[in-house]
Amino acid sequence: MPTNILMPALSPTMEKGNLAKWIKKEGDKVAPGDVLAEIETDKATMEVEAVDEGTLAKILVAEGTQDVPVNQVIAVLAGEGEDVKAAASASPTQKAPPPKTEAKPPEAPKQAAPTSTPSAATQTAAAPVLPGNRLFASPLARRIAREANIDLSRVQGSGPHGRVVARDIDAAKSGGAVKAPGAAPGTAPLPQPPSDDKIMALFEKGSYEIIPHDNIRKIIAKRLVEAKTTIPHFYLTVDCIIDNLLAAREEINNSAPKDKDGKPAWKLSVNDFVIKALALALQRVPDANVTWTEDGMLKHKHSDVGVAVSIPGGLITPIVRQAEAKSLSVISNEMKDLADRARAKKLRPEEFQGGTSAISNLGMYGIREFAAVINPPHATILAVGAGEQRAIVRDGKVVAATVMTATLSTDHRAVDGVLGAQLLGAVKAIIENPVMMVV
């Protein structure tokens, strides 16, 4: 029996992908592990490997096609000994085909002239569904949500036109992203942003050009809205004196061995020290090394620190795993490799998914201080500004020092004010006394 090859979900947030290139052609023999195609996700370009043996009978989605939904059939594989032409002409079926028609919202029952004042419960049951609050979900998704006591209105739909399907309920049950609570029944719907037409009507025609959003920008926008509407942020700021850190950095870099071409074995940046400092601080304040879930707190054993890297069209956060146990030179070289592959969109999912906290550093752009948006599932993110000469008071005298401002954004559900202050205090202490990074 022919096997349908589906557009894979290569990350938890992936809903669509671009079919960048077919490696195999129609009629090619395929063995398990062979690379079939290259898929562009919201974060990286990844290879899709065959899991069965056979012949690629038909390609249904041409290379270069954008926004191919997850689980859509993209090709048909004829098994060993099967008729390739017959497999190619067979009508493909999906494991979870999208319904042909969308479920209509239930109509309000026709009301006869009341003989008495209806109860509050009766009024609620008979209330018509507002057009702005229409909820589309498959029957299976509704049944699973009802059995699991999950509010369908808070589940992010991944089906056609935002329809909630069974996999969305499964994701919600396992702690996946949900929408912010909406308006209570009987109240006015939450305000919606103005439509594109209304926004464009504010500007003279011909005074602008429309640049369509790519997948990366769409995902970034979606995740930022989710983060700011579902995570109660609060912010803590400290100034760190980094003269000792800069002196240590210079000494360590000057001592780096060089290869035959004169290239040093490492070249530490200030950011490498900040990564190490945050990793050690999370170990000193383990109650802040956590992730919030509705069922309980995940308390992490290691400090897996993500670092925001700017890529064309967006941002990605590769992760330095177990950074607390790595030397500064290892962190530096690993971070350079991750950043290079991030810009080339060659990171593997496990290299940018998860993590326990993150760092965003805009100091190299001259930014003095800023507050970063938490990147779920993290409970904290450290925003780092530029190191600059400032006047400080030391022993009653005004002196010059190199000062770097750091701001910790915190999920108040997981890390409260005192705990956040303890974590940021630990970061400051380690940065100002960098010898502690090598103890």
* Total number of domains in the chain: 2
Alpha-carbon separation of residue 173 from 169, 259, 303, 378 (angstroms): 6, 53, 26, 19
Q: DSSP string spanning 279-341? A: HHHHHHSGGGSEEE-SS-EEE-SS--EEE-EEETTEEE--EETTGGGS-HHHHHHHHHHHHHH
Q: Write the single-letter amino acid at 389.
A: Q
Copy the structure tokens of residue 71: 């689980």
The 8-class DSSP code of residue 115 comes to S
Give the span between the Cα atoms of 369 and 361, in whole angstroms.
Answer: 10
Residues 202 and 330 reside in one and the same domain = no
Q: What is the CATH number of the domain that holds 67?
A: 2.40.50.100
CB 355 within 8 A of CB 282: no
Residues 221 and 328 reside in one and the same domain = no
Under the phi-then-psi rule, with left for phi > 0, alpha for psi from -120 to 50, and beta for the rest, what region is 131? alpha
- What pLDDT was estimated at residue 179? 53
- What pLDDT was estimated at residue 118? 36
Residues 297 and 337 reside in one and the same domain = yes
Residues 304 and 208 reside in one and the same domain = no
Give a yes or no: residue 220 inside a domain: yes
Residues assigned a catalytic role: 412
Q: Which helix (H) or strand (E) holds 383?
A: strand 380-394
What predicted TM-score, i.e. pTM, was given to this entire model? 0.66
Phi first, then psi, for residue 292 (nearest 5°) are -85, 130
Give a yes or no: residue 171 inside a domain: no
Residues 299 and 241 reside in one and the same domain = yes
Phi first, then psi, for residue 39 (nearest 5°) are -115, 130
- What pLDDT was estimated at residue 232? 95
Residues 315 and 208 reside in one and the same domain = no
Copy the structure tokens of residue 142: 């509704």
Structural domain including 341 reads: 233-438
Q: What is the CATH number of the domain that holds 343?
A: 3.30.559.10
SS3 label, residue 229: helix
- What pLDDT was estimated at residue 437? 92
Residues 216 and 239 reside in one and the same domain = no
Q: What is the pLDDT along the chain (439 residues), one digit of tens a residue?
A: 778 888 888 776 678 888 888 999 888 888 888 889 988 876 677 888 888 888 888 899 998 888 888 889 999 888 877 777 777 776 564 443 443 334 444 444 444 444 433 333 333 233 233 334 446 677 777 878 877 778 777 787 777 667 788 888 877 776 655 554 544 444 445 567 788 888 999 999 999 999 988 777 888 888 889 899 999 999 999 999 999 999 999 999 999 999 988 899 999 999 999 999 999 999 999 999 999 999 899 999 999 999 999 988 788 999 999 999 999 999 999 999 999 999 988 888 889 989 999 999 999 999 999 999 999 999 999 999 999 999 999 999 999 999 999 999 999 999 999 999 999 999 999 999 999 898 7
Which of 181, 2, 184, 168 is closest to 78 using CA atoms?
A: 2
Place of tokens 């012949």: 55
Give a yes or no: residue 19 inside a domain: yes
Under the phi-then-psi rule, with left for phi > 0, alpha for psi from -120 to 50, and beta for the rest, what region is 335? alpha
Give the span between the Cα atoms of 25 and 33, in whole angstroms.
Answer: 16
Q: DSSP string spanning 231-258? A: S-EEEEEEEEE-HHHHHHHHHHHHT--B
Give a yes or no: residue 42 inside a domain: yes
- What pLDDT was estimated at residue 174? 67
SS3 label, residue 351: helix
Residues 222 and 239 reside in one and the same domain = no
Give a yes or no: residue 158 inside a domain: no
